[in-house]
Structures are given as structure tokens and as C-alpha cells.
Amino acid sequence: MHCSASLRNNYTMKNTLIAPSVLAADFGNLQRDIEMINNSEADWFHIDIMDGVFVPNISYGMPVLEAINRHAKKTIDVHLMIIDPDRYIKTFAELGANILSVHYEACTHLHRTLQAIKAEGMKAGVAINPHTNIDLLEDVIIDIDLVCIMSVNPGFGGQSFIENTYAKIEKLKALIIKKGATTIIEVDGGVTNKNAKQLVEAGADVLVAGSFVFKAENPTQTIHDLKKLTNF
């Protein structure tokens, strides 16, 4: 029994998802870039919403998401980098978000916020900053559909990857198993073809990639290569 179970594990194909971050798209050609993702092997649209308070940068807001949603044909994964996100849960549901992630560091009543997200029919995600310890999720992991481990300090695209991320993924994976949760693990920031495979080996299920995809000479090919590299 034990032997066949371990054999099965060894030969199970990964189903790693790739989520290009629209923050790195060309906003003068937004529809073109959305269609590129639609026609690629990418799985989700990753949408970064920044308020200039929780993070030192302002990205884009509701009208832009509405425009993206008009053309996007894949899952919309919204990453809120804003204080007091409860104010906008309903709005993001109406704007077409399928997954809504709030920051652990921005929520006083995280459990309540997660229930409010689910009540609007969305999957509930929690993003954690590089300094935030995985152990802090222990009492709420069972209620979380997705944990987004930040592998850079949130606020900007194009930053370099923080190496401690691998250890955090492993620790989170162990917590998920220990608690019998079904949470999936997303990694966000500085993802490239240099770290993608190792992130999946550590336990990542979804890789967000902004600059690496959109600044590439051939973004569609780059998505294909990332998919191939991370599904083994």
C-alpha cells in the first residue's frame, strides 16, 4: 500500500497555473495584451490594486478592471494591496473578480473578511508580506482558499525575488497538510524561468509573473515555456 501510494505521488503530473500580472502590460495597448493572455496557455489574469497607503504606489482601479473584465476570458485573480479592504468586497465581486485576496497585514478581523468575500461568491485569498510568519495563518488556514506568498515587498513590479520564499512555501504546505485544508499556494513577485521550477518543487500551485512575461520579446512563448517548466 505504502509503496503504491508513493509511486503514485512520484508520477503525478503537476498542474501548475500561470497568472500573468497585468500591472506589467502596456496600458496603451491593454486590449491587445488581454487578448494575448486569452490566446496563450496562461490560466489566470492577476490584477494588482494598490491604494498608495498600504503600499507606496497607486496602480489602477475600478474603471480599468471593468475594461479588463470586458475582454478577459479567464479567471480574474484580484490582489488587493489596500487598507480596510472590507469596503470594496462587493464592488470587486460586481467587477468580475473570481478570486479576491486581501493582505493579512491590512485586516483586523481577517476571519470575518474571508466570510464576506465568500458570501459574494468569490474564492477568498490572503496575501502575506515577506516578513509575515506563516504560523500566523494557523487558526484561519481552513477558511482560506488561496494564500499568496509575496516574494517581493508589494508595491512594484520588476523587483528581485527574495530567496527566503522557498522556506515559507514549504512551511505553508506543511501547515495546509497538518490542518487538512484545501488551500492553494500562489507566489507573487520576481518569478522567472530561473526560480519557477524550484518554487513548484517547494509546493507552489500558482505562479504570478509580471515583468518576466510582458517585457519578454515573445510573451506568448514565455508563458508556454513557464507552463512547460512547471508541469512535470
Binding site for ligand DX5 (CB under 6 A): 21, 23-24, 46, 48, 79, 152, 154-159, 188-191, 208-212
Cα R_g (the chain), whole angstroms: 17
CB of 20 to ligand DX5, least distance (A): 9
Residue 190 labeled ligand binder: yes
Residues in contact with 197: Cβ distance below 8 Å, sequence separation at least 6, in sequence order: 229, 230, 232
Residues forming a β-bridge with 209: 20
Does residue 48 carry a catalytic annotation? Answer: yes
Kind and range of the H or E element at 7?
helix 2-11
Residue 28 labeled ligand binder: no
Residues forming a β-bridge with 148: 127, 186
Question: What are the two backbone dihedrals, phi and then psi, of residue 22, each rounded to the nearest 5 degrees?
Answer: -65, -15
Q: Select the binding partner of residue 168 from Zn ion, ligand DX5, none (C-beta < 5 to 8 A, by kind).
A: none
Residue 96 labeled ligand binder: no
Q: Select the binding partner of residue 202 from ligand DX5, Zn ion, none (C-beta < 5 to 8 A, by kind).
A: none
CB of 157 to ligand DX5, least distance (A): 4
Pairwise CA distance, residues 212 & 20, whole Å: 9
CB of 186 to Zn ion, least distance (A): 9
Q: Select the binding partner of residue 211 from Zn ion, ligand DX5, none (C-beta < 5 to 8 A, by kind).
A: ligand DX5
41-57 burial string, b = 16+ CB within 10 Å, else e? ebbbbbbbbbbeebbee
| Closest residue to ligand DX5 using C-beta atoms | 210
| Cβ-based nearer residue to ligand DX5, 157 or 181 | 157
Q: Select the binding partner of residue 189 from ligand DX5, Zn ion, none (C-beta < 5 to 8 A, by kind).
A: ligand DX5
CB of 126 to ligand DX5, least distance (A): 14
Does residue 225 carry a catalytic annotation? Answer: no
Q: Which residues bind to Zn ion, rule: CB under 5 A?
A: 48, 79, 188
Residue 156 labeled ligand binder: yes
Q: Are 75 and 44 in contact (CB under 8 A)?
A: yes
Residue 180 labeled ligand binder: no
CB of 171 to Zn ion, least distance (A): 21
Specify the 3-state DSSP secondary structure of 216: coil
Catalytic residue among 51, 77, 145, 188: 188
**HEC letters along 122-182:** CEEEEEECCCCCHHHHCCCHHHCCEEEEECCCCCCCCCCCCCCHHHHHHHHHHHHHHHCCC
The annotation places the binding site at 21, 46, 48, 79, 155-158, 188-190, 210-211
The annotation places the binding site for a divalent metal cation at 46, 48, 79, 188
Active-site residues, by number, are 48, 188
